[in-house]
Amino acid sequence: MRIGFGYDLHRLKTGRKMMIGGVHIPCGFGEEAHSDGDVLLHALIDALFGAIAEGDIGSHFPPGDSEWKDISSLVLLGKTMEIVRDRGYSLVNLDCTVVLEKPKLLPYMQEIRSSIAGALGADVRQISVKGKTKEKVDAVGRGEAVEAYVSLLLSGN
């Protein structure tokens, strides 16, 4: 068994699409990033690499590399899962928290869970996603940023 933990934060910017867990959340702004900026998938990728002691998202998909410019984070997650499987591990479960003042994520939660499950080749019952706010405290609370936390468990084959 291997435990992974991931965290990510992105500034928010008008003119970008908000992507959370591979799902477009219509709201007029989105994450500032080299890729599509999906903060939840970036934290998930870090958790997966951490669980198998293989570095982090930046060491595998460098943000300055034009190959990854505006790429879908679902593609990066797929490549990450190939590495995890090649090391002989599979997902037991994952627990995610997205911290965002607005928009509310509740209407998108099932779609986000299904998107992640599909990308991981997992059952949606293995995927927990929660939305929280910062009660208007700090950059996230002021609507300037979004952050995500992920913990997960892998088992060896």
**Is 47's pLDDT higher than 90?**
yes
* Look-up of token digits 């996603």: 129
**Is 53's pLDDT higher than 80?**
yes
CATH (one of 3.30.1330.50, 3.40.47.10, 3.40.50.920, 3.30.420.10) for 2-156: 3.30.1330.50
Can you give the pLDDT at residue 111? Answer: 98
Q: pLDDT-based confidence at 36, cuts 50/70/90?
A: confident
Can you give the pLDDT at residue 68? Answer: 72
- SS3 for 107-153 is HHHHHHHHHHHHHHCCCHHHEEEEEECCCCCHHHHCCCEEEEEEEEE
- Give the model confidence (pLDDT) of 119-128 as tens digits: 999 999 999 9
* pLDDT average, residue stretch 7-19: 95
* Look-up of token digits 């928290």: 97
pTM of the model: 0.95
Cα dist. 127→91, 97, 105, 152 in Å?
A: 10, 11, 15, 9
* pLDDT average, residue stretch 100-115: 96
Can you give the pLDDT at residue 150? Answer: 98
Residue type, 64: G
- What mean pLDDT is reported for the chain? 94
